Amino acid sequence: MSPEVPPAPSGFFSRLRDGLRKTRDGLRQKLEIVFGGAPLDEGTLERLEEALLASDLGPATTAAILEPARAAFRRHGITTGEAMRDLLAQRVGELLQVGGPPAPAPAAPPHVTLFLGVNGSGKTTTIAKLAKRYLGAGERVLLAAGDTFRAAATEQLQIWGHRIGAEVIAHRPGADPAAVIFDACKAASARGVQRLLIDTAGRLHTRKNLMEELKKIHRVIAREVPGAPHETLLVLDATTGLNAVAQAREFHHAVGVTGLVIAKLDGTAKGGAVVAIAQALQLPVRYVGVGESPEDLQPFDPREFAAALFS
Ligand SMILES: Nc1nc2c(ncn2[C@@H]2O[C@H](COP(=O)(O)OP(=O)(O)O)[C@@H](O)[C@H]2O)c(=O)[nH]1
Ligand SMILES: [Mg+2]
């Protein structure tokens, strides 16, 4: 079993570019107005700041992006819009390089990934897309239906499991999620499954209940599989833009998130929020989702993302 995700099919850059179209078009239009062919001046920098803020990059990240641009401009190192755009892309790529690489593969299987996120963020779909890739790479995969709060959620994972050919451990709706996950950990270990992907509820009666539940689940996993969960991925809906930051902090505080999945980038012009969220939380983005098909979820590459954003 390799610690890495199977390589992305070629052509993902164009998928990423397509998926980022709304954000990219918004940014490009504004940048064209900003640069507009006229020589760069202090006013250009101010308008540039407004353009970046409008893409949901947030004030702190916008300042961090503009810092080297401003310095280069002041020492006359930058004179054209094109050069400025390159500098911005490079800086965004740098800012996205936060956190470390994923943990190496465990000495003994299973590798366990816990998925968190509010309802509708894209957890179940992300699990299915990833499971399909692992299966395609010849790995044995087990899915755990830990979202027992909504009857439809368990069913949805089962439908996906059936479709892609992955076994799903599920209990009745309303069952204790910790019990489902306990069973899934046992089954994964007993069967020598390489990847265990765990779905969780995104809402319980209160947010406090949810966080307590997630802590409990985390403890069960850690107790049943040494070193697990190897990844705790928080799935965020890109269309919520910067609002995702507060949400992410709450999950991170409760269970310690190790990486982010940003889903639904194709549906928003607020794609700049990816940079702001990674910056604010100092958490690495592991995957981005740019559509509903399995090929639309890919490992995140900071430089590629920045290039796609400004291309
Ligand atoms: N356009 C688009 N839709 C997505 C993406 N990821 C998930 N979705 C859709 O978002 C909706 C909610 O996803 P789901 O996985 O059920 O969210 P969950 O409640 O967190 O499990 C579904 O209709 C998915 O098809 C994506 O990257 N792009
Ligand atoms: Mg779900």
**Protein residue closest via CA to atom 13 of ligand 1:** 122
Any alpha helices (H) in the chain, and if so which ranges?
A: 12-19, 21-35, 42-54, 59-74, 81-95, 123-136, 151-164, 177-191, 207-224, 244-255, 273-281, 302-310
Task: Supply the pLDDT for residue 83.
Answer: 86
Separation of CA 147 and ligand 1 centre (Å): 15
Residue 176: CB atoms within 10 Å: 15
Task: Supply the pLDDT for residue 3.
Answer: 45
**In testing the pocket of ligand 1, which one of 118, 125, 266, 268 has its CB within 8 Å of the most ligand atoms?**
125
Decide: 237 in ligand 1 pocket, CB within 6 A.
Answer: no
pLDDT digits (tens, 9 = 90+) for 121-139: 999 999 999 999 999 999 9
117: left (phi over 0), alpha (psi -120 to 50) or beta: left
Separation of CA 87 and ligand 1 centre (Å): 34
pTM comes to: 0.92
Task: Supply the pLDDT for residue 10.
Answer: 53
**Token pair listed for 13:** 């850059």
Decide: 120 in ligand 1 pocket, CB within 6 A.
Answer: yes
Decide: 294 in ligand 1 pocket, CB within 6 A.
Answer: no
Identify whether the C-beta of residue 115 lies closer than 8 Å to the C-beta of residue 199.
Answer: yes
- Point out which residues pair with 233 in neighbouring strands: 115, 259
Candidates 300, 238, 287, 226; CA nearest to 264 is 238
Decide: 58 in ligand 1 pocket, CB within 6 A.
Answer: no
**Protein residue closest via CA to atom 10 of ligand 1:** 122
Task: Supply the pLDDT for residue 159.
Answer: 97
Task: Supply the pLDDT for residue 13.
Answer: 84
Weakly modelled stretches of the chain, pLDDT under 70 = 1-10, 37
Phi, psi of 211 (to 5 degrees): -65, -40
Decide: 124 in ligand 1 pocket, CB within 6 A.
Answer: yes
Q: Which helix (H) or strand (E) holds 259?
A: strand 259-263
Distance (Å, rounded) from C-alpha 52 to C-alpha 50?
5
- Largest alpha-carbon pair distance within the chain? 67
Helix axes 273-281, 244-255, angle to 10 degrees: 30
Decide: 117 in ligand 1 pocket, CB within 6 A.
Answer: yes
Decide: 291 in ligand 1 pocket, CB within 6 A.
Answer: yes
What are the angstrom distances between the C-alpha of 212 and each of 43, 85, 153, 255? 50, 45, 20, 9
pLDDT digits (tens, 9 = 90+) for 9-31: 457 788 889 889 988 888 888 88
Task: Supply the pLDDT for residue 132.
Answer: 96
